[in-house]
Amino acid sequence: MSALNIALVGNPNCGKTALFNRLTGSRQKVANYAGVTVERKEGLFRTPGGRSVRVLDLPGAYSLDATSPDEAITRDVCRGALPGEPVPDLLVCVVDATNLRLHLRFVLELRRLGRPMLLALNLMDQARRRGITIDVAALQARLGMPVVETVAVKRDGAEALVAMLDGAVPPAPEAGEDHGDLHAQVSALLAEAVTMPERTSRLDERLDRWLLHPVWGLVILAAVMFLVFQAVFSWAGPLQDTLAGWISVLGESMGGALPDGPLRSLVQDGLFAGLGTVMEFLPQILLLFTFILALEESGYLPRAAFLLDRPMRAAGLTGRSFIPLLSSFACAIPGIMATRSIQDPRDRLTTILVAPLMTCSARLPVYTLLIGAFIPDQPVWGVFNLQGLVLFALYVAGIVSAMGAAWVIQKLRHTEGEHVLLLELPSYRLPNLLDLGIGLWERARIFLRRVTGIILSLTVLLWFLSSYPAPPEGATLPAIDYSLAGRIGRWMEPLFAPIGFNWQICIALIPGLAAREVAVAALATVYALSAANDAEAITSLSPLIAADWSLATALSLLVWYVYAPQCLSTIAVIKRETNSWKQAGFATGYLFALAYLASLVTYQLTAWLMS
Amino acid sequence: MVLSDLEAGAVGTVDAVHDAGPDDLVARRLRDIGFVSGETVRLVTRGPLGGEPLLVQVGFTRFAMRRQEAQRVRLQRPGG
């Protein structure tokens, strides 16, 4: 039997991706359509009859009259007008059986294309639960295409669809009686084939009454956010330590097998140190992703966007920016990738540009070191702790600065015209484990692929800079002083003297470019300490820098870390997602300027107050 | 009367969506998602701050939109 190319097409929130996951399992390939940042998802499966089927999961669309790059892709593939993309042999129109009023209109629009297609009535279990009855035979007769029922979240929920794919491809529906208004046709279809006790689900009504309540809605949102952060930062810790331990053991054993020399140093201090940094943050990022995915699947995240749209718009953003900015607390890279869900290109760009200001987890080691060394561990008003308050203030500084920066960017760009929200709040659904698992795996893979290449190559480069040239015979200073990195650090010193950075800090800033957290390890190297990991480095560095640096320098460095774009991976992702070196350059420039200015004010002010 | 004039919880009937300018994508999208003459719409609730955005039910679906978007939707006079 010949292979079959099918495409899943339907409205957003019709359960299309769940159906795609059900059909293909883990045999999926995720990439981008050529030239655009629209995700292309393709999968493979074999029917019981032995036919191999290639499935394309098209981006959700409300209409062929596209208003976003995603919808334009769906339109072009359905019409067979996208270069390099084969015309699907069969369109599988997926609809949510509880939302036929909206979804059938798109099906009727697709029917006008005159291509072979069938209709999958998805979420049939929900429809039955709500007492909705659908006369499948009547619907099939009126639409002129086969209709199957599916329940994408059930193990055998796609069997009827798969069985149908085993047979001959149905002929293209006749559009004979199709003229005039699509909405009127949908109403006629519904009147004939569907009975529905009530228009909305009672559960949705009840949940929305609480979750969108002017007071309780915001209280619940704050509680949810607090729980997510608490979980991400307290649960991921032990996992991170374990992973870091394994990697350093692996690095040492691999390095140990090599003869002492540059190659061993490269493997141990370059490759594995770099890999370790990436992997250490993986548990935190995965945990945060799990929460975000679960909240997204449940239908809560659009509600959060609804609640926050007004304040975020005042700052020059949109309610839709909430999800990307939330992800950026783990790492700006997945956050910037998540901005694809923002329809308005101006809002998307602003969100990308301010995402690096969210305090990502990579800054934590630096904050921990400096706060531990310089901020006294004393209670404040009985309930708080000064160290905790300073950490909290650094997070708040990031958020407030992001809002301010977004506001200024919008003003500077003179963006005229309306910024549109128009966001569907889908029915609440229980997150499904298969979909969560596949979603998580996919995001983790994309993250690792993006990051490992960049970080690994940079770590190797920086390893080279800090190892060569080697110190002369009888050298007294740490080896890094004689290296290229050391020279660059000293050369940088005059520039950074006004903000209180000594040459040691300047040197540490260079490796810190690859990833912020590397700066701690670099400081340890500069101060000629041998430390096996970050935790050890922090413990032994603390007393040293507490004696060597002034409070003004420490505060200045803390503030520097709130702003400075010291993460080349982030800059690379900004370039990729905006497809513009100009925007990446702008982001780098404005963040450096902000960092320098804020550190200058902090240093000079503190020095003056302390004198 | 336009959609954004509805009180929270109130129901109205769509008369038409008018274009705010030439080639108004938003107006076209509103028509596509069901804001067409004779359709019943309900303003479910408003955002907690500044009365925005609006949560509007059309057909079986709920959409969040800003006031400016909702102003494109003209409603029939009650009883008219």
Q: What does residue A19 show for φ and ψ, rounded to 5 degrees?
A: -65, -40
Q: pLDDT tens digits for A259-296?
A: 777 777 777 766 676 666 666 667 777 887 888 889 98
The whole-number pLDDT of residue A451 equals 65
The whole-number pLDDT of residue A43 equals 94
Q: Bridge partners of B49?
A: B52
How far from each other are the two terminal CA atoms of chain A, in whole angstroms? Answer: 85
- pLDDT at position A166 over 60: yes
Other beta carbons within 10 Å of A73: 21
Least confident of A187-196, A292-301, A332-341, A374-383: A374-383
Report the distance separating Cα A121 and Cα A96, nearest Å: 6
- pLDDT at position B74 over 50: yes
A302 contacts on B by Cβ (under 8 Å): 64
Q: pLDDT tens digits for A80-124?
A: 989 889 899 999 999 999 999 999 999 999 999 999 999 999 999
Report the distance separating Cα A133 and Cα A544, nearest Å: 74
Q: What is the mean pLDDT of residues A164-183?
A: 80
The whole-number pLDDT of residue B33 equals 93
- pLDDT at position B36 over 50: yes
Q: What does residue A296 show for φ and ψ, rounded to 5 degrees?
A: -65, -50
Q: Bridge partners of A120?
A: A94, A148
Q: Give the global pTM.
A: 0.84
Instruction: Tell me which of A313 and A197 has the higher pLDDT.
Output: A313
Nearest to B5 by CA among B64, B51, B48, B38: B51
DSSP A67-97: -SHHHHHHHHHHHT-STTSPPPSEEEEEEET
Nearest to A53 by CA among A84, A19, A104: A19
Chosen for mutation from B11, B26, B40, B61 (greatest number of chain A CBs closer than 10 Å) is B61
- pLDDT at position A10 over 90: yes
Q: pLDDT tens digits for A18-40?
A: 999 999 987 888 888 887 778 89
| B32/A contact by beta carbon, under 8 A | yes
Band of pLDDT at residue A525, cut at 50, 70 and 90? low
Report the distance separating Cα A165 and Cα A153, nearest Å: 19
- pLDDT at position B80 over 50: no
- Residue B49, min C-alpha distance to chain A (Å): 6
Reported CATH class of domain A4-199:
alpha beta
B62/A420 CB distance under 8 A: no
Q: pLDDT tens digits for A538-569?
A: 777 788 888 888 899 999 999 998 998 777 78
Least confident of A135-139, A371-375, A446-450, A591-595: A446-450
Tokens of A232: 């991400």
Q: pLDDT tens digits for A215-272?
A: 999 999 999 988 887 777 677 777 777 877 787 788 778 777 777 777 777 777 666 7
Domain ranges of chain A: 4-199, 449-610
The whole-number pLDDT of residue B16 equals 93
- pLDDT at position A605 over 90: yes
The whole-number pLDDT of residue A528 equals 59
Nearest to A208 by CA among B14, B65, B63: B63
Quick check: helix, strand or coil at residue A303? helix
A302/B64 CB distance under 8 A: yes
Q: Are strands A39-46 and B73-75 parallel, antiparallel or unpaired?
A: unpaired
Report the distance separating Cα A140 and Cα A173, nearest Å: 10
- pLDDT at position A587 over 90: yes
- Residue B26, min C-alpha distance to chain A (Å): 8
Q: What is the mean pLDDT of residues A41-65?
A: 93
The whole-number pLDDT of residue A529 equals 54
Q: pLDDT tens digits for A403-424?
A: 999 999 988 876 667 888 899 9
Peptide bond into A86 cis (omega under 30): no
Nearest to A340 by CA among A93, A36, A557: A36
Q: pLDDT tens digits for A372-404?
A: 888 887 787 877 788 888 888 898 899 999 999
A418 contacts on B by Cβ (under 8 Å): 20, 26, 68-69
The whole-number pLDDT of residue A79 equals 93
B50 contacts on A by Cβ (under 8 Å): 310
- pLDDT at position B79 over 60: no
Question: Considering CB atoms only, which of A105, A214, A309 is closest to B53?
Answer: A309
Count of H-run helices and E-run strands, chain B? 2, 5
CATH architecture of B3-75: Roll (2.30)
Report percent pLDDT > 70 for chain A.
90
Other beta carbons within 10 Å of A406: 24
- pLDDT at position B39 over 80: yes
Contacts of A270 (CB under 8 A, 6+ apart): A459, A460, A462, A463, A464
- Residue A201, min C-alpha distance to chain B (Å): 9
